[in-house]
Amino acid sequence: MRFIYFAFLVFITDAAISGTESDTTDVADFEVSKEILAIIGDPEYGEYLAGDCTGCHQADGSYDGIPSITGWDIESFVWAMQSYKQKVREHPVMQMMAGRLSDEEIAALAAYFETLE
């Protein structure tokens, strides 16, 4: 149920932020494998990698035109980043940023951002 709700949020966000024509069916159907979800991220590495995020996404969770990414649960964070990495979800910056991250690095970021309120 959470994924369905989250997919809806993704659709709204994509429309609002990237303005691109996401294939919502693909995004809604996108699933992350159990193996990827099982990776335990290193929050210290995540904190370092987060430097690549906080140049745009504010660390205090404020929204001024770019969505907040703080305080997400790990599964939702990994799902969102994997959907960009695997180019299911549209956005040129995010596809580029997620595209160069390994599954372990995405898990590390998720572990770190979950700790931020």
Partner 1 sequence: MKLNRRTFMGTAAAASVSAPSVYAGGHGKPRVVVVGGGAGGATAARYIAKDSKGAIDVTLVEPTRTYYTCFFSNLYLGGFKEIDDIGHSYGKLAALGVNVVHDWAIGVDRSDKTVSLAGGATLSYDKLILSPGIDFVDGAVEGWDLSTQNAMPHAYKAGSQTELLKAQIAAMPQGGVFAMVAPPNPYRCPPGPYERISMVAHYLKNNNPTAKIIVADPKPKFSKMALFQEGWATHYSGMVDWIGSEFGGGNVSVDPGAMTVSIDGEDIKVDACNVIPAMKAGRIADLAGVTDGNWAPVNAADMSTKADGDVYVLGDASQQGDMPKSGFSANSQAKVCANAVRGALTGSKVFPAKFSNTCWSLISTNNGVKVGATYEATAEKIAKVDGFISATGESAELRQATYEESEGWYAGITSDMFG
CB of 115 to partner 1, least distance (A): 14
CB of 93 to partner 1, least distance (A): 6
**Closest CB to partner 1 among residues 9, 31:** 9
- Residues contacting 80, CB < 8 A, separation 6+: 6, 10, 72, 89
* Contact code string over 26-65 relative to partner 1, x by CB under 8 A: ------------------xx-xxx-xx-xxxxxxx-xxxx
37-64 exposure pattern, b = at least 16 Cβ within 10 A, e = fewer? bebebbbebbbebbeebeeebbeeeeee
Binding site for partner 1 (CB under 8 A): 16-20, 44-45, 47-49, 51-52, 54-60, 62-66, 92-93, 95-97, 99-100
